[in-house]
Structure 1
Protein backbone atom coordinates (compact mmCIF):
# COMPACT_ATOMS: atom_id res chain seq x y z
CA UNK A 1 0.00 0.00 0.00
CA UNK A 2 1.40 3.38 -0.97
CA UNK A 3 1.74 6.07 1.73
CA UNK A 4 -1.00 8.64 2.15
CA UNK A 5 -0.57 11.68 -0.10
CA UNK A 6 0.70 14.88 1.47
CA UNK A 7 -1.33 17.93 0.48
CA UNK A 8 -0.56 21.63 0.85
CA UNK A 9 -3.45 23.64 2.23
CA UNK A 10 -3.17 27.32 1.23
CA UNK A 11 -2.84 29.68 4.17
CA UNK A 12 -5.03 32.57 3.08
CA UNK A 13 -8.14 34.31 4.47
CA UNK A 14 -10.94 32.67 2.49
CA UNK A 15 -14.26 31.44 3.91
CA UNK A 16 -14.88 27.78 4.66
CA UNK A 17 -16.99 27.52 1.53
CA UNK A 18 -13.83 27.94 -0.57
CA UNK A 19 -11.84 24.73 -0.85
CA UNK A 20 -8.32 24.69 -2.23
CA UNK A 21 -5.19 22.57 -2.14
CA UNK A 22 -1.97 21.76 -3.94
CA UNK A 23 -0.74 18.20 -4.17
CA UNK A 24 2.82 16.97 -3.70
CA UNK A 25 4.47 13.88 -5.17
CA UNK A 26 4.21 12.02 -1.85
CA UNK A 27 1.89 8.99 -1.89
CA UNK A 28 0.18 7.60 -4.93
CA UNK A 29 0.62 4.66 -7.25
CA UNK A 30 3.01 5.91 -9.95
CA UNK A 31 6.42 4.28 -10.36
CA UNK A 32 9.93 4.93 -11.68
CA UNK A 33 10.51 8.51 -12.82
CA UNK A 34 6.87 9.35 -12.08
CA UNK A 35 7.15 7.82 -8.63
CA UNK A 36 4.45 9.01 -6.28
CA UNK A 37 1.29 11.00 -6.79
CA UNK A 38 1.49 11.95 -10.48
CA UNK A 39 -1.81 13.38 -11.72
CA UNK A 40 -0.91 14.04 -15.36
CA UNK A 41 -2.10 11.71 -18.07
CA UNK A 42 -0.04 13.28 -20.86
CA UNK A 43 3.52 12.62 -19.65
CA UNK A 44 3.84 8.90 -20.41
CA UNK A 45 2.86 7.44 -17.04
CA UNK A 46 0.78 4.27 -16.94
CA UNK A 47 -2.86 5.38 -17.41
CA UNK A 48 -4.12 3.07 -14.68
CA UNK A 49 -1.72 4.63 -12.17
CA UNK A 50 -2.80 8.16 -13.09
CA UNK A 51 -6.44 7.17 -12.80
CA UNK A 52 -5.83 5.54 -9.42
CA UNK A 53 -4.08 8.70 -8.22
CA UNK A 54 -6.94 10.90 -9.42
CA UNK A 55 -9.48 8.67 -7.73
CA UNK A 56 -7.50 8.81 -4.49
CA UNK A 57 -7.36 12.60 -4.73
CA UNK A 58 -11.11 12.81 -5.29
CA UNK A 59 -11.71 10.67 -2.24
CA UNK A 60 -9.31 12.59 -0.02
CA UNK A 61 -10.78 15.96 -0.91
CA UNK A 62 -14.38 14.92 -1.34
CA UNK A 63 -14.42 16.51 -4.77
CA UNK A 64 -17.92 17.44 -5.93
CA UNK A 65 -17.14 16.43 -9.50
CA UNK A 66 -14.37 15.77 -12.00
CA UNK A 67 -11.88 18.66 -12.07
CA UNK A 68 -11.77 20.71 -15.28
CA UNK A 69 -8.41 19.41 -16.51
CA UNK A 70 -6.85 21.67 -19.16
CA UNK A 71 -4.46 20.99 -22.01
CA UNK A 72 -1.91 23.60 -20.93
CA UNK A 73 0.12 25.25 -23.69
CA UNK A 74 2.13 28.00 -21.93
CA UNK A 75 -0.08 30.67 -23.49
CA UNK A 76 -2.40 33.42 -22.30
CA UNK A 77 -5.81 31.89 -22.89
CA UNK A 78 -8.19 31.79 -19.95
CA UNK A 79 -11.64 30.23 -20.14
CA UNK A 80 -14.90 30.28 -18.20
CA UNK A 81 -15.94 26.91 -16.87
CA UNK A 82 -18.92 26.94 -19.24
CA UNK A 83 -16.45 26.87 -22.16
CA UNK A 84 -14.66 23.79 -20.87
CA UNK A 85 -14.54 20.59 -22.87
CA UNK A 86 -12.10 17.67 -22.69
CA UNK A 87 -8.74 18.56 -24.23
CA UNK A 88 -9.39 22.30 -24.42
CA UNK A 89 -6.17 24.30 -24.76
CA UNK A 90 -5.95 26.96 -22.07
CA UNK A 91 -3.79 27.97 -19.12
CA UNK A 92 -6.43 29.34 -16.75
CA UNK A 93 -10.00 28.59 -15.78
CA UNK A 94 -12.56 30.76 -13.98
CA UNK A 95 -15.93 29.80 -12.55
CA UNK A 96 -18.77 31.39 -10.62
CA UNK A 97 -20.55 28.06 -10.33
CA UNK A 98 -20.54 26.17 -7.02
CA UNK A 99 -19.06 22.67 -6.91
CA UNK A 100 -17.06 23.29 -10.10
CA UNK A 101 -13.39 22.42 -9.64
CA UNK A 102 -10.77 24.52 -11.44
CA UNK A 103 -7.36 22.88 -11.65
CA UNK A 104 -3.89 23.40 -13.14
CA UNK A 105 -0.91 21.05 -13.21
CA UNK A 106 2.71 22.07 -12.68
CA UNK A 107 6.25 20.76 -12.22
CA UNK A 108 8.25 24.04 -11.91
CA UNK A 109 5.77 26.52 -13.38
CA UNK A 110 3.83 28.67 -10.93
CA UNK A 111 0.32 27.56 -9.94
CA UNK A 112 -1.95 30.43 -8.90
CA UNK A 113 -5.31 30.16 -7.15
CA UNK A 114 -7.74 33.08 -6.89
CA UNK A 115 -10.95 33.94 -5.05
CA UNK A 116 -13.29 36.93 -5.46
CA UNK A 117 -15.78 37.16 -2.60
CA UNK A 118 -18.22 39.67 -4.07
CA UNK A 119 -18.44 37.90 -7.42
CA UNK A 120 -18.37 34.42 -5.92
CA UNK A 121 -15.67 33.41 -8.37
CA UNK A 122 -12.65 31.16 -8.12
CA UNK A 123 -9.89 30.62 -10.67
CA UNK A 124 -6.72 28.63 -11.29
CA UNK A 125 -3.80 29.82 -13.43
CA UNK A 126 -0.81 27.94 -14.85
CA UNK A 127 2.00 30.49 -15.15
CA UNK A 128 5.37 29.55 -16.60
CA UNK A 129 7.73 32.21 -17.88
CA UNK A 130 6.15 32.08 -21.33
CA UNK A 131 2.67 32.48 -19.90
CA UNK A 132 3.77 35.33 -17.66
CA UNK A 133 5.39 37.06 -20.62
CA UNK A 134 2.28 36.50 -22.75
CA UNK A 135 0.08 38.00 -20.03
CA UNK A 136 -1.87 35.05 -18.62
CA UNK A 137 -2.47 36.93 -15.36
CA UNK A 138 -3.95 40.15 -16.82
CA UNK A 139 -5.86 38.10 -19.40
CA UNK A 140 -7.46 36.05 -16.64
CA UNK A 141 -8.40 39.13 -14.63
CA UNK A 142 -9.79 40.79 -17.75
CA UNK A 143 -11.91 37.77 -18.62
CA UNK A 144 -13.29 37.66 -15.09
CA UNK A 145 -14.32 41.30 -15.43
CA UNK A 146 -14.48 42.01 -11.70
CA UNK A 147 -12.91 44.68 -9.50
CA UNK A 148 -9.29 43.55 -9.39
CA UNK A 149 -8.55 44.97 -5.96
CA UNK A 150 -10.98 42.50 -4.39
CA UNK A 151 -9.22 39.35 -5.59
CA UNK A 152 -7.40 37.15 -3.10
CA UNK A 153 -4.40 35.36 -4.61
CA UNK A 154 -2.33 32.36 -3.55
CA UNK A 155 0.98 31.52 -5.22
CA UNK A 156 1.89 27.85 -5.04
CA UNK A 157 5.14 25.86 -5.32
CA UNK A 158 7.39 26.71 -8.28
CA UNK A 159 11.05 26.64 -9.19
CA UNK A 160 12.92 29.29 -7.21
CA UNK A 161 15.19 31.98 -8.61
CA UNK A 162 18.29 30.18 -7.35
CA UNK A 163 17.64 27.29 -9.74
CA UNK A 164 15.91 28.93 -12.70
CA UNK A 165 18.50 30.08 -15.24
CA UNK A 166 17.29 31.66 -18.48
CA UNK A 167 19.02 33.15 -21.48
CA UNK A 168 19.61 36.79 -22.34
CA UNK A 169 16.70 36.73 -24.79
CA UNK A 170 14.22 35.99 -21.97
CA UNK A 171 15.63 38.82 -19.87
CA UNK A 172 15.37 41.24 -22.80
CA UNK A 173 11.80 40.23 -23.65
CA UNK A 174 10.58 40.83 -20.11
CA UNK A 175 12.44 44.09 -19.59
CA UNK A 176 11.33 45.42 -22.98
CA UNK A 177 7.75 44.70 -21.92
CA UNK A 178 8.08 46.45 -18.56
CA UNK A 179 11.27 47.89 -17.08
CA UNK A 180 10.06 47.08 -13.56
CA UNK A 181 10.49 43.38 -14.35
CA UNK A 182 14.25 43.83 -14.13
CA UNK A 183 13.98 43.38 -10.36
CA UNK A 184 12.94 39.76 -10.96
CA UNK A 185 16.32 38.93 -12.53
CA UNK A 186 19.76 38.36 -11.04
CA UNK A 187 22.91 37.79 -13.11
CA UNK A 188 23.89 34.14 -13.35
CA UNK A 189 27.44 32.86 -13.05
CA UNK A 190 27.25 32.05 -16.76
CA UNK A 191 27.77 34.92 -19.13
CA UNK A 192 24.61 36.25 -20.80
CA UNK A 193 22.39 34.20 -18.50
CA UNK A 194 20.06 35.28 -15.74
CA UNK A 195 18.28 33.80 -12.74
CA UNK A 196 14.55 34.51 -12.96
CA UNK A 197 12.11 34.78 -10.06
CA UNK A 198 8.69 34.00 -11.51
CA UNK A 199 6.90 34.80 -8.25
CA UNK A 200 8.22 38.37 -8.42
CA UNK A 201 6.90 38.75 -11.97
CA UNK A 202 3.52 37.41 -10.85
CA UNK A 203 3.37 39.76 -7.87
CA UNK A 204 4.25 42.73 -10.06
CA UNK A 205 1.57 41.85 -12.58
CA UNK A 206 -1.08 41.48 -9.90
CA UNK A 207 -0.02 44.73 -8.27
CA UNK A 208 -0.17 46.52 -11.62
CA UNK A 209 -3.77 45.32 -11.89
CA UNK A 210 -4.60 46.60 -8.41
CA UNK A 211 -4.43 43.27 -6.56
CA UNK A 212 -2.67 43.57 -3.21
CA UNK A 213 -3.86 40.52 -1.23
CA UNK A 214 -1.20 38.08 -2.43
CA UNK A 215 -0.32 35.07 -0.29
CA UNK A 216 1.81 31.95 -0.55
CA UNK A 217 5.09 31.15 -2.35
CA UNK A 218 8.27 30.11 -0.57
CA UNK A 219 8.52 26.55 -1.91
CA UNK A 220 11.07 25.43 -4.49
CA UNK A 221 10.08 22.51 -6.69
CA UNK A 222 13.66 22.05 -7.94
CA UNK A 223 15.32 21.91 -4.51
CA UNK A 224 12.75 19.75 -2.72
CA UNK A 225 13.10 16.35 -4.37
CA UNK A 226 11.03 14.60 -1.70
CA UNK A 227 7.87 16.62 -2.20
CA UNK A 228 7.85 17.97 -5.75
CA UNK A 229 8.25 16.95 -9.35
CA UNK A 230 10.59 19.24 -11.32
CA UNK A 231 10.90 19.32 -15.09
CA UNK A 232 14.09 21.39 -14.91
CA UNK A 233 15.70 19.00 -12.42
CA UNK A 234 14.51 15.65 -13.81
CA UNK A 235 13.60 16.34 -17.44
CA UNK A 236 16.96 15.25 -18.87
CA UNK A 237 16.07 11.67 -17.94
CA UNK A 238 12.69 11.91 -19.64
CA UNK A 239 9.25 13.22 -18.72
CA UNK A 240 8.36 13.56 -15.06
CA UNK A 241 5.11 13.81 -13.12
CA UNK A 242 2.92 16.78 -12.28
CA UNK A 243 1.34 18.21 -9.14
CA UNK A 244 -2.17 19.64 -9.23
CA UNK A 245 -3.52 22.85 -7.68
CA UNK A 246 -7.29 22.86 -7.28
CA UNK A 247 -9.95 25.30 -6.12
CA UNK A 248 -13.73 25.29 -5.90
CA UNK A 249 -16.47 26.68 -3.68
CA UNK A 250 -19.43 24.98 -2.12
CA UNK A 251 -22.96 26.35 -1.81
Structure 2
Protein backbone atom coordinates (compact mmCIF):
# COMPACT_ATOMS: atom_id res chain seq x y z
CA UNK A 1 0.00 0.00 0.00
CA UNK A 2 1.34 3.41 -0.96
CA UNK A 3 1.95 5.91 1.80
CA UNK A 4 -0.58 8.71 1.93
CA UNK A 5 0.52 11.81 0.08
CA UNK A 6 0.79 15.06 2.01
CA UNK A 7 -2.29 17.26 1.84
CA UNK A 8 -2.38 21.00 1.41
CA UNK A 9 -3.84 23.38 3.96
CA UNK A 10 -4.20 26.77 2.33
CA UNK A 11 -4.31 29.86 4.55
CA UNK A 12 -6.23 32.66 2.88
CA UNK A 13 -6.93 36.28 3.73
CA UNK A 14 -6.52 39.82 2.53
CA UNK A 15 -3.23 41.62 3.11
CA UNK A 16 -2.89 42.87 6.71
CA UNK A 17 -5.48 40.49 8.15
CA UNK A 18 -3.19 38.19 10.14
CA UNK A 19 -2.35 35.47 7.63
CA UNK A 20 1.34 35.49 8.56
CA UNK A 21 0.59 35.22 12.27
CA UNK A 22 -1.89 32.41 11.69
CA UNK A 23 0.60 30.56 9.50
CA UNK A 24 3.30 30.83 12.17
CA UNK A 25 0.96 29.29 14.74
CA UNK A 26 -0.05 26.44 12.45
CA UNK A 27 3.41 25.92 11.00
CA UNK A 28 4.94 25.12 14.39
CA UNK A 29 2.92 21.91 14.57
CA UNK A 30 5.17 18.85 14.13
CA UNK A 31 2.78 17.42 11.52
CA UNK A 32 2.74 20.55 9.36
CA UNK A 33 5.45 21.60 6.93
CA UNK A 34 5.54 25.20 5.75
CA UNK A 35 7.71 27.15 3.34
CA UNK A 36 10.76 28.59 5.09
CA UNK A 37 13.69 30.66 3.90
CA UNK A 38 12.34 31.31 0.42
CA UNK A 39 13.66 34.40 -1.42
CA UNK A 40 10.15 35.83 -1.73
CA UNK A 41 7.93 38.08 0.41
CA UNK A 42 6.59 36.33 3.53
CA UNK A 43 7.49 32.89 2.10
CA UNK A 44 4.41 33.09 -0.10
CA UNK A 45 4.06 30.12 -2.40
CA UNK A 46 2.41 32.08 -5.20
CA UNK A 47 5.88 33.37 -6.10
CA UNK A 48 7.39 29.89 -6.13
CA UNK A 49 5.28 28.20 -8.79
CA UNK A 50 4.82 28.62 -12.51
CA UNK A 51 1.51 26.87 -12.98
CA UNK A 52 -0.51 30.06 -12.53
CA UNK A 53 1.20 33.27 -13.66
CA UNK A 54 2.00 35.62 -10.81
CA UNK A 55 3.20 38.84 -12.37
CA UNK A 56 3.73 42.20 -10.67
CA UNK A 57 0.13 42.98 -11.65
CA UNK A 58 -1.26 39.95 -9.81
CA UNK A 59 -2.10 39.91 -6.12
CA UNK A 60 -1.74 43.66 -5.69
CA UNK A 61 -2.79 44.82 -2.20
CA UNK A 62 -6.12 46.60 -2.30
CA UNK A 63 -6.93 45.39 -5.81
CA UNK A 64 -6.62 41.67 -6.45
CA UNK A 65 -9.55 40.37 -4.40
CA UNK A 66 -12.14 42.27 -6.42
CA UNK A 67 -10.51 41.70 -9.81
CA UNK A 68 -12.76 39.20 -11.56
CA UNK A 69 -9.91 37.95 -13.71
CA UNK A 70 -8.11 36.79 -10.54
CA UNK A 71 -11.10 34.92 -9.14
CA UNK A 72 -10.22 31.39 -10.23
CA UNK A 73 -12.76 28.59 -9.97
CA UNK A 74 -13.40 25.07 -11.14
CA UNK A 75 -13.60 24.98 -14.92
CA UNK A 76 -11.27 27.95 -15.35
CA UNK A 77 -8.39 27.91 -17.83
CA UNK A 78 -6.05 26.66 -15.08
CA UNK A 79 -8.23 23.72 -14.12
CA UNK A 80 -6.09 21.09 -15.81
CA UNK A 81 -3.55 18.39 -15.03
CA UNK A 82 -0.64 20.39 -16.43
CA UNK A 83 -1.22 23.21 -13.95
CA UNK A 84 -1.61 20.79 -11.06
CA UNK A 85 1.58 18.90 -11.89
CA UNK A 86 3.58 22.10 -12.43
CA UNK A 87 2.48 23.57 -9.10
CA UNK A 88 3.11 20.34 -7.23
CA UNK A 89 6.55 20.00 -8.80
CA UNK A 90 7.51 23.59 -8.02
CA UNK A 91 6.19 23.56 -4.47
CA UNK A 92 7.32 20.10 -3.37
CA UNK A 93 10.96 21.16 -3.08
CA UNK A 94 10.00 23.56 -0.28
CA UNK A 95 8.25 21.01 1.92
CA UNK A 96 9.13 18.08 4.14
CA UNK A 97 7.63 15.02 2.41
CA UNK A 98 7.44 13.13 5.71
CA UNK A 99 4.82 15.48 7.16
CA UNK A 100 1.13 14.88 6.38
CA UNK A 101 0.21 18.55 5.92
CA UNK A 102 1.83 21.12 3.66
CA UNK A 103 0.86 24.68 4.56
CA UNK A 104 0.77 27.35 1.88
CA UNK A 105 -0.04 30.95 2.71
CA UNK A 106 -0.57 33.58 0.02
CA UNK A 107 -3.16 36.39 -0.04
CA UNK A 108 -4.25 35.27 -3.51
CA UNK A 109 -5.45 31.99 -2.01
CA UNK A 110 -8.56 33.93 -1.06
CA UNK A 111 -9.61 34.08 -4.72
CA UNK A 112 -8.31 30.64 -5.73
CA UNK A 113 -9.91 28.30 -3.20
CA UNK A 114 -12.39 26.78 -5.61
CA UNK A 115 -9.67 26.14 -8.19
CA UNK A 116 -7.28 24.71 -5.61
CA UNK A 117 -9.99 22.35 -4.38
CA UNK A 118 -10.27 21.09 -7.95
CA UNK A 119 -6.50 20.73 -8.41
CA UNK A 120 -5.85 19.29 -4.95
CA UNK A 121 -9.11 17.53 -3.96
CA UNK A 122 -8.09 16.65 -0.38
CA UNK A 123 -6.95 20.17 0.48
CA UNK A 124 -8.48 22.20 3.30
CA UNK A 125 -8.79 25.94 3.67
CA UNK A 126 -8.52 28.33 6.59
CA UNK A 127 -9.73 31.87 5.96
CA UNK A 128 -8.95 34.72 8.33
CA UNK A 129 -10.95 37.95 8.35
CA UNK A 130 -10.20 41.25 10.09
CA UNK A 131 -12.37 44.24 10.89
CA UNK A 132 -12.62 46.07 7.54
CA UNK A 133 -11.83 49.47 9.04
CA UNK A 134 -8.78 48.14 10.90
CA UNK A 135 -7.59 46.27 7.83
CA UNK A 136 -8.06 49.42 5.75
CA UNK A 137 -6.08 51.53 8.21
CA UNK A 138 -3.24 49.01 8.24
CA UNK A 139 -3.23 48.56 4.46
CA UNK A 140 -3.29 52.33 3.88
CA UNK A 141 0.36 52.34 4.98
CA UNK A 142 1.18 50.22 1.95
CA UNK A 143 -1.00 51.62 -0.80
CA UNK A 144 -2.09 55.01 -2.06
CA UNK A 145 -5.79 54.44 -1.57
CA UNK A 146 -8.50 56.15 0.44
CA UNK A 147 -9.14 54.06 3.60
CA UNK A 148 -12.88 54.41 3.00
CA UNK A 149 -12.48 52.73 -0.38
CA UNK A 150 -10.37 50.01 1.20
CA UNK A 151 -13.22 49.28 3.61
CA UNK A 152 -15.50 48.78 0.63
CA UNK A 153 -12.82 46.64 -1.02
CA UNK A 154 -12.64 44.39 2.05
CA UNK A 155 -16.39 43.96 2.24
CA UNK A 156 -16.63 43.18 -1.46
CA UNK A 157 -13.92 40.56 -1.02
CA UNK A 158 -15.69 39.06 1.99
CA UNK A 159 -18.88 38.70 -0.02
CA UNK A 160 -16.96 36.82 -2.71
CA UNK A 161 -15.67 34.53 0.02
CA UNK A 162 -19.19 34.02 1.36
CA UNK A 163 -20.37 32.94 -2.09
CA UNK A 164 -17.38 30.63 -2.60
CA UNK A 165 -17.94 28.87 0.72
CA UNK A 166 -20.95 27.08 -0.71
CA UNK A 167 -18.65 25.26 -3.14
CA UNK A 168 -15.97 24.19 -0.65
CA UNK A 169 -15.93 20.84 1.12
CA UNK A 170 -13.49 21.70 3.92
CA UNK A 171 -13.08 25.29 5.06
CA UNK A 172 -12.92 27.11 8.36
CA UNK A 173 -13.38 30.86 8.68
CA UNK A 174 -12.04 32.70 11.70
CA UNK A 175 -11.68 36.34 12.69
CA UNK A 176 -8.37 37.92 13.63
CA UNK A 177 -10.07 39.46 16.65
CA UNK A 178 -11.17 36.06 17.99
CA UNK A 179 -7.69 34.62 17.44
CA UNK A 180 -6.21 37.41 19.56
CA UNK A 181 -8.91 37.30 22.26
CA UNK A 182 -9.19 33.51 22.55
CA UNK A 183 -6.00 32.09 21.06
CA UNK A 184 -6.09 28.71 22.81
CA UNK A 185 -9.66 27.93 21.84
CA UNK A 186 -9.23 29.03 18.24
CA UNK A 187 -5.93 27.18 17.88
CA UNK A 188 -7.35 23.93 19.25
CA UNK A 189 -10.36 24.25 16.98
CA UNK A 190 -8.15 24.74 13.93
CA UNK A 191 -6.00 21.73 14.71
CA UNK A 192 -9.14 19.65 15.27
CA UNK A 193 -10.29 20.81 11.84
CA UNK A 194 -7.06 19.28 10.49
CA UNK A 195 -7.54 16.15 12.63
CA UNK A 196 -4.39 16.97 14.60
CA UNK A 197 -3.65 17.08 18.30
CA UNK A 198 -3.14 20.50 19.81
CA UNK A 199 0.30 22.10 19.77
CA UNK A 200 0.91 25.39 21.56
CA UNK A 201 3.80 27.22 19.86
CA UNK A 202 4.06 29.74 22.72
CA UNK A 203 3.89 32.69 20.35
CA UNK A 204 3.18 35.98 22.11
CA UNK A 205 0.16 37.71 20.61
CA UNK A 206 -0.77 41.37 20.70
CA UNK A 207 -3.85 43.18 19.45
CA UNK A 208 -2.69 44.94 16.30
CA UNK A 209 -6.08 46.61 16.00
CA UNK A 210 -5.17 48.88 18.91
CA UNK A 211 -2.61 50.58 16.67
CA UNK A 212 -5.28 52.19 14.52
CA UNK A 213 -8.03 54.65 15.26
CA UNK A 214 -11.13 54.33 13.11
CA UNK A 215 -14.17 56.59 12.64
CA UNK A 216 -17.37 55.69 14.45
CA UNK A 217 -19.53 56.95 11.62
CA UNK A 218 -19.61 55.12 8.32
CA UNK A 219 -22.04 54.85 5.46
CA UNK A 220 -25.16 53.01 6.61
CA UNK A 221 -24.88 50.42 3.85
CA UNK A 222 -21.27 49.66 4.81
CA UNK A 223 -22.23 49.39 8.48
CA UNK A 224 -24.91 46.85 7.60
CA UNK A 225 -22.47 44.80 5.55
CA UNK A 226 -19.89 44.85 8.35
CA UNK A 227 -22.46 43.52 10.82
CA UNK A 228 -22.93 40.43 8.69
CA UNK A 229 -19.50 39.37 9.97
CA UNK A 230 -19.99 40.67 13.51
CA UNK A 231 -18.11 43.92 12.96
CA UNK A 232 -19.30 47.30 14.24
CA UNK A 233 -18.43 50.81 13.03
CA UNK A 234 -15.42 52.23 14.84
CA UNK A 235 -13.60 48.92 15.20
CA UNK A 236 -15.93 47.12 17.59
CA UNK A 237 -16.99 43.50 17.31
CA UNK A 238 -19.89 41.40 18.46
CA UNK A 239 -20.24 37.61 18.78
CA UNK A 240 -20.36 35.89 15.43
CA UNK A 241 -20.56 32.27 14.37
CA UNK A 242 -17.28 30.86 13.15
CA UNK A 243 -17.92 28.86 10.00
CA UNK A 244 -16.62 25.30 9.81
CA UNK A 245 -17.44 23.08 6.85
CA UNK A 246 -16.10 19.56 6.46
CA UNK A 247 -17.52 16.43 4.77
CA UNK A 248 -16.94 14.39 7.95
CA UNK A 249 -19.34 15.08 10.78
CA UNK A 250 -16.83 13.94 13.41
CA UNK A 251 -14.33 16.55 12.27
CA UNK A 252 -16.92 19.30 12.37
CA UNK A 253 -18.00 18.29 15.85
CA UNK A 254 -14.46 17.96 17.17
CA UNK A 255 -13.63 21.43 15.91
CA UNK A 256 -16.77 22.86 17.47
CA UNK A 257 -16.16 21.10 20.78
CA UNK A 258 -12.84 22.87 21.17
CA UNK A 259 -14.69 26.16 21.41
CA UNK A 260 -16.15 26.61 24.85
CA UNK A 261 -18.58 29.24 23.61
CA UNK A 262 -20.97 27.45 21.30
CA UNK A 263 -21.93 30.78 19.73
CA UNK A 264 -18.52 30.94 18.11
CA UNK A 265 -19.02 28.10 15.68
CA UNK A 266 -21.40 27.19 12.91
CA UNK A 267 -20.89 23.70 11.50
CA UNK A 268 -22.09 22.78 8.05
CA UNK A 269 -21.77 19.66 5.98
Same fold flag (TM > 0.5): no
Question: Which of structures 1 and 2 has the larger relative contact order (alpha carbons within 8 angstroms, sep 6+)?
Answer: 1
Higher strand fraction: Structure 1 or Structure 2?
A: 1
TM-score by structure 1 length? 0.30
